[in-house]
Amino acid sequence: MCAIGRAIMSRPETVLLDEPSMGLAPQLVEEIFGIVKDLNEKEGVSFLLAEQNTNVALRFAHYGYILESGRVVMDGPAAELRENPDVKEFYLGMSDEGRKSFRDVRSYRRRKRWLS
Protein backbone atom coordinates (compact mmCIF):
# COMPACT_ATOMS: atom_id res chain seq x y z
CA MET A 1 0.00 0.00 0.00
CA CYS A 2 2.87 2.34 0.76
CA ALA A 3 4.47 1.72 -2.65
CA ILE A 4 1.17 2.39 -4.43
CA GLY A 5 0.71 5.58 -2.39
CA ARG A 6 4.19 6.81 -3.26
CA ALA A 7 3.61 6.09 -6.94
CA ILE A 8 0.25 7.90 -7.00
CA MET A 9 1.71 11.05 -5.38
CA SER A 10 3.41 11.94 -8.67
CA ARG A 11 0.06 11.77 -10.52
CA PRO A 12 1.15 9.20 -13.14
CA GLU A 13 -0.97 8.08 -16.07
CA THR A 14 0.21 4.48 -15.66
CA VAL A 15 1.60 2.45 -12.77
CA LEU A 16 3.38 -0.89 -13.16
CA LEU A 17 2.72 -3.38 -10.36
CA ASP A 18 4.85 -6.52 -10.27
CA GLU A 19 3.31 -9.35 -8.24
CA PRO A 20 1.41 -7.17 -5.75
CA SER A 21 -0.17 -10.25 -4.14
CA MET A 22 3.10 -12.06 -3.44
CA GLY A 23 3.40 -13.04 0.21
CA LEU A 24 0.15 -11.37 1.27
CA ALA A 25 -2.77 -12.92 3.13
CA PRO A 26 -5.86 -13.38 0.92
CA GLN A 27 -7.75 -10.59 2.70
CA LEU A 28 -4.93 -8.14 2.03
CA VAL A 29 -4.77 -9.21 -1.63
CA GLU A 30 -8.46 -8.36 -2.02
CA GLU A 31 -7.90 -5.01 -0.30
CA ILE A 32 -4.90 -4.12 -2.52
CA PHE A 33 -6.76 -5.03 -5.70
CA GLY A 34 -9.80 -3.09 -4.49
CA ILE A 35 -7.62 -0.01 -3.99
CA VAL A 36 -6.13 -0.44 -7.47
CA LYS A 37 -9.62 -0.76 -8.96
CA ASP A 38 -10.79 2.40 -7.16
CA LEU A 39 -7.74 4.35 -8.31
CA ASN A 40 -8.38 3.22 -11.86
CA GLU A 41 -12.06 4.11 -11.83
CA LYS A 42 -12.00 7.29 -9.73
CA GLU A 43 -8.61 8.80 -10.57
CA GLY A 44 -8.20 7.48 -14.13
CA VAL A 45 -4.84 5.84 -13.41
CA SER A 46 -4.05 2.86 -15.63
CA PHE A 47 -2.31 -0.12 -14.07
CA LEU A 48 -0.08 -2.60 -15.87
CA LEU A 49 -0.10 -5.63 -13.66
CA ALA A 50 2.27 -8.61 -13.77
CA GLU A 51 0.60 -11.24 -11.60
CA GLN A 52 0.62 -15.02 -11.26
CA ASN A 53 -2.56 -15.11 -9.20
CA THR A 54 -4.77 -15.35 -12.28
CA ASN A 55 -8.04 -15.66 -10.38
CA VAL A 56 -7.62 -12.26 -8.76
CA ALA A 57 -5.88 -10.62 -11.72
CA LEU A 58 -8.56 -11.57 -14.26
CA ARG A 59 -11.34 -10.67 -11.84
CA PHE A 60 -10.10 -7.08 -11.49
CA ALA A 61 -8.52 -6.52 -14.93
CA HIS A 62 -10.17 -5.14 -18.03
CA TYR A 63 -7.81 -6.86 -20.46
CA GLY A 64 -5.27 -9.65 -20.02
CA TYR A 65 -2.31 -11.30 -21.68
CA ILE A 66 -1.32 -14.92 -21.07
CA LEU A 67 2.47 -15.31 -21.24
CA GLU A 68 4.41 -18.51 -21.56
CA SER A 69 8.19 -18.51 -21.67
CA GLY A 70 8.14 -14.76 -22.22
CA ARG A 71 5.79 -14.86 -25.21
CA VAL A 72 2.16 -13.81 -25.47
CA VAL A 73 0.15 -16.94 -26.25
CA MET A 74 -3.30 -15.43 -25.78
CA ASP A 75 -4.89 -12.09 -25.02
CA GLY A 76 -8.32 -10.58 -24.76
CA PRO A 77 -10.87 -9.02 -22.45
CA ALA A 78 -10.39 -10.40 -18.94
CA ALA A 79 -14.01 -11.62 -18.74
CA GLU A 80 -13.49 -13.72 -21.89
CA LEU A 81 -10.17 -15.10 -20.64
CA ARG A 82 -11.81 -16.07 -17.33
CA GLU A 83 -14.39 -18.17 -19.19
CA ASN A 84 -12.03 -19.63 -21.79
CA PRO A 85 -11.82 -23.44 -21.37
CA ASP A 86 -8.13 -23.47 -22.35
CA VAL A 87 -7.27 -20.87 -19.71
CA LYS A 88 -9.31 -22.76 -17.11
CA GLU A 89 -7.57 -26.03 -17.97
CA PHE A 90 -4.11 -24.51 -18.02
CA TYR A 91 -4.44 -22.66 -14.73
CA LEU A 92 -6.09 -25.58 -12.99
CA GLY A 93 -2.94 -27.41 -14.02
CA MET A 94 -4.30 -30.86 -14.81
CA SER A 95 -6.24 -32.60 -17.55
CA ASP A 96 -6.99 -36.21 -18.41
CA GLU A 97 -3.63 -36.43 -20.15
CA GLY A 98 -1.63 -34.82 -17.34
CA ARG A 99 -0.04 -31.40 -17.10
CA LYS A 100 0.05 -29.44 -20.37
CA SER A 101 1.49 -26.15 -21.47
CA PHE A 102 -0.86 -23.53 -22.86
CA ARG A 103 0.95 -23.80 -26.21
CA ASP A 104 0.12 -27.55 -26.35
CA VAL A 105 -3.56 -26.85 -25.70
CA ARG A 106 -3.70 -24.21 -28.45
CA SER A 107 -1.85 -26.43 -30.94
CA TYR A 108 -4.27 -29.28 -30.26
CA ARG A 109 -7.30 -27.03 -30.80
CA ARG A 110 -5.85 -25.69 -34.08
CA ARG A 111 -5.23 -29.24 -35.38
CA LYS A 112 -8.72 -30.25 -34.33
CA ARG A 113 -10.27 -27.32 -36.27
CA TRP A 114 -8.12 -28.09 -39.31
CA LEU A 115 -9.24 -31.72 -39.37
CA SER A 116 -12.93 -30.79 -39.00
pLDDT by residue, tens only, the chain of 116 residues: 788 888 888 899 999 999 988 888 888 899 999 999 999 999 999 999 999 888 889 999 999 998 888 889 889 999 998 888 888 877 645 455 555 566 666 665 655 555 65
Alpha-carbon gap, residue 23 to 14, rounded angstroms: 24
The region that residue 72 occupies, defined by phi over 0 for left and psi between -120 and 50 for alpha, beta otherwise, is: beta
Domains of the chain, by residue range, sit at: 1-61, 76-116
pTM check: above 0.75: no
Q: Which of 36, 102, 53 is nearest to 75 (CA)?
A: 102
